Amino acid sequence: MKTIIIFLSLIFFTSLSLPQFQHKELLSIDAKNQGNVKVHDISCDGYLIMSEIIGDFAEYYLGNIKNISDKKLIFSSTDCKNDFINFSTGGNLIVYKTKLNNKIGLQIYDIEKQSSFDLTQPNGDIVSASIVNEEILLYQLRQKESLPEIYKYSRSNNTSTFLTYGMGETISPNGKWFFVKKYNTEINSLKDKLIEGKISKEEFSDRIINAQKTIPKSCIYDINGKLLLELQEFNNQIVEVNWSSDSKKLVVREIGDLGFYIIRLNTESGMRIEKIYHFNGISSTGGFQNFALNPIWSPDGTKILFINSIEDGHEIIRMDLWIIEDNVYNLYSALIGVENSISRTVWKSNKIINYIETDNTNTFYKINELIEKEVKLK
């Protein structure tokens, strides 16, 4: 039986101290005057993914917060319009989606080894991936007249294994299971009927198109493709998922939700939901709406950092950073009043947060740090 606790959008403090944060600007980049630079992502170790773009040509670099001039070229592209690049879950790999051999594929760069390898599929385009390390890698394949497919890739024997039809694959840090939005359709049966001539090609295409219009079910599978849990509590499509470092908790956000859910799993025998909590978000005032976006767990799994995006229905007014503590549910602000966009956030440690700030036209980037200070109440 599911347990959902709805929290009021108020600030409660049950501890004897109020966490406060010291703000520090680590780096400022004038993007237009420094070679049309773009900052794509930041890792918990202080690495940056940066690019210099001229027209459709781009060079991608691995940089460092401590010394921005100390950068290493990792990838280059002659057609960067559809490129996508970010760090893997642990920040030890860089995942770069680009065109390879007339297909969309992945180039994966190992920061420690300073080497990369390519991953492509001759049957379609790889549009997304979730990676723990080189041997624990999931990707989503798109083919014509088919639903999105999830594969597990093993680099040691260079093989891909089909797991299920779905999207939004998000692997747990322990590499044992993954979240996915699964399409519920008998596609293999449809393919057999098409081959046997029992249905026409047009009917097959129509059935696939209709299946794509349905809302996929949120599920958790083991790494070998066995269904462990169907999250029946969620009627709307989940758009954000983040695992805790011990792989026993999830924070998820549904489409249109002002807040998010905190899910605690019991994995002692199989998998089941132990508790579900819903955070309503920050109270809206003055005709604005607040959206709690990009919720991410602290390294020790005790806190969730999220962006509070204040919007008027047409545009973002400002962004704040807030923290909610798991179990005790203290809610407090880490940063108030960012008039520019916060494009990335990351926990450097349990008490230090790094984030990237930029304007709407990406003319500048600021890499900032928030350090938690504890102030005792008198």
Please state, in angstroms and rounded to a whole number, the distance separating the CA atoms of residues 245 and 89.
10
The residue to which tokens 């129509």 are assigned: 206
Least confident segment among 75-89, 265-279, 337-351: 75-89
Most confident option among 18-22, 164-168, 219-223:
219-223
Percent of the chain with pLDDT strictly greater than 70: 90
Neighbours of 37 (CB within 10 A): 20
β-strand partners of 242: 251
Please state, in angstroms and rounded to a whole number, the distance separating the CA atoms of residues 90 and 178.
15
Instruction: Please tell me the predicted confidence (pLDDT) of residue 187.
Output: 63
Instruction: Please tell me the predicted confidence (pLDDT) of residue 204.
Output: 76
Instruction: Please tell me the predicted confidence (pLDDT) of residue 260.
Output: 95
Least confident segment among 122-131, 235-244, 350-359: 235-244
Structure tokens given for 124? 């379609």
Please state, in angstroms and rounded to a whole number, the distance separating the CA atoms of residues 206 and 341.
41
Q: What residue spans define the domains of the chain?
A: 1-35+240-378
Give, in degrees to the nearest 5, the angle at Cα 128 between 369 and 309. 40
pLDDT of residue 2 exceeding 50: no
Q: For 295-337, what is each residue's pLDDT tens digit? A: 999 999 999 999 999 988 788 888 999 999 998 888 999 999 8
Structure tokens given for 3? 């347990």
pLDDT of residue 150 exceeding 50: yes
CA dist list (Å): 70 to 25, 42, 92, 96: 19, 15, 18, 21
Which of 254, 253, 256, 340 is closest to 304 using CA atoms?
Answer: 253
Instruction: Please tell me the predicted confidence (pLDDT) of residue 9.
Output: 44
Q: What's the mean pLDDT in 164-189? A: 86
Average pLDDT over all residues of the chain: 86
Structure tokens given for 278? 């819903």
The residue to which tokens 């304007």 are assigned: 359
Instruction: Please tell me the predicted confidence (pLDDT) of residue 11.
Output: 43
Q: For 68-91, what is each residue's pLDDT tens digit? A: 888 999 999 887 766 789 999 889
β-strand partners of 260: 279
Question: Is 260 in contact with 279 (CB distance < 8 Å)?
Answer: yes
Least confident segment among 33-42, 67-76, 191-200, 219-228: 191-200
Instruction: Please tell me the predicted confidence (pLDDT) of residue 352.
Output: 95
Give, in degrees to the nearest 5, the angle at Cα 300 between 297 and 303. 45
DSSP string, 42-91: E-TTSEEEEEEEETTEEEEEEEESS-TT--EEEEEES--TT-EEEE-TTS
Instruction: Please tell me the predicted confidence (pLDDT) of residue 15.
Output: 45
Question: Is 100 in contact with 107 (CB distance < 8 Å)?
Answer: yes
Output helix, strand, coil percentages for the chain, rounded to the nearest 5.
Answer: 5, 55, 40
- Banded pLDDT at 14 (limits 50, 70, 90): very low
pLDDT of residue 166 exceeding 70: yes
Q: For 95-149, what is each residue's pLDDT tens digit? A: 999 888 889 999 999 999 999 999 999 989 999 999 988 888 999 999 887 789 9
Instruction: Please tell me the predicted confidence (pLDDT) of residue 10.
Output: 44
Instruction: Starting at the earlier edge strand, list the strands of the sheet with 364-376.
Output: 17-30, 364-376, 352-358, 341-347
Answer whether 0.85 is exceeded by the pTM. yes
β-strand partners of 346: 354
Question: Is 141 in contact with 125 (CB distance < 8 Å)?
Answer: yes
Phi, psi of 192 (to 5 degrees): -65, -40
- Banded pLDDT at 234 (limits 50, 70, 90): confident
Question: What three-state secondary structure class fits 110?
Answer: strand
Q: What's the mean pLDDT in 359-370? A: 87
